[in-house]
């Protein structure tokens, strides 16, 4: 499975992520193209699948390159809502709607790249 995350002290590969024992409710990959991967008979294999396989209940991933400043605004609203509700899908929907309502962030490239993948159960 292709993919890796560059860290300050090295690289963390998709294979290494799969071998982790995560019991995380949410993993957020708010950088470019984290929801993409290789298409197989089992679906799309990418970084997000490694986190799900490692035990993450939900993963936020992106489907294309995302602009840093606009993403910061979207994620600020996402985290605020997630903190209140514990529901990643509901929080992302709210953040997207917030972006859509503002003229300077209403274009789909600023908010539509984000997907919540997983069970999305509230805590």
Return d(Cα 65, Cα 51) in angstroms, integer: 20
- The total domain count for the chain is 1
Return d(Cα 117, Cα 103) in angstroms, integer: 28
Return d(Cα 50, Cα 46) in angstroms, integer: 7
Better-predicted residue by pLDDT, 55 or 46: 55
Q: What domain range is 55 assigned to? A: 4-118
Position 61 in a domain: yes
Position 123 in a domain: no
pLDDT bracket for residue 123 (50, 70, 90): very low
The 10s digit of each residue's pLDDT in 81-114 is 999 999 999 999 999 999 999 999 999 998 998 9
Predicted confidence at residue 2, as pLDDT, reads 54
The 10s digit of each residue's pLDDT in 54-63 is 999 999 988 8
pLDDT bracket for residue 46 (50, 70, 90): low
């Amino acid at each position: 499975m292709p993919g890796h995350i560059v860290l300050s002290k090295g690289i963390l590969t998709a294979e290494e992520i799969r071998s982790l024992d995560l019991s995380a409710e949410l993993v957020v990959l708010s950088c470019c193209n984290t929801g993409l991967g290789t298409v197989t008979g089992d679906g799309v294999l990418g970084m997000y699948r490694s986190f799900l396989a490692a035990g993450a209940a939900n993963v936020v991933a992106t489907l294309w390159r995302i602009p840093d400043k606009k993403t910061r605004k979207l994620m600020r609203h996402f985290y605020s809502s997630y903190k209140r509700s514990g529901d990643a899908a509901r929080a992302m929907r709210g953040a997207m709607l917030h972006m859509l309502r503002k003229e300077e962030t209403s274009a789909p490239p600023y908010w539509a790249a984000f997907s919540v993948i997983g069970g999305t159960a509230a805590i």
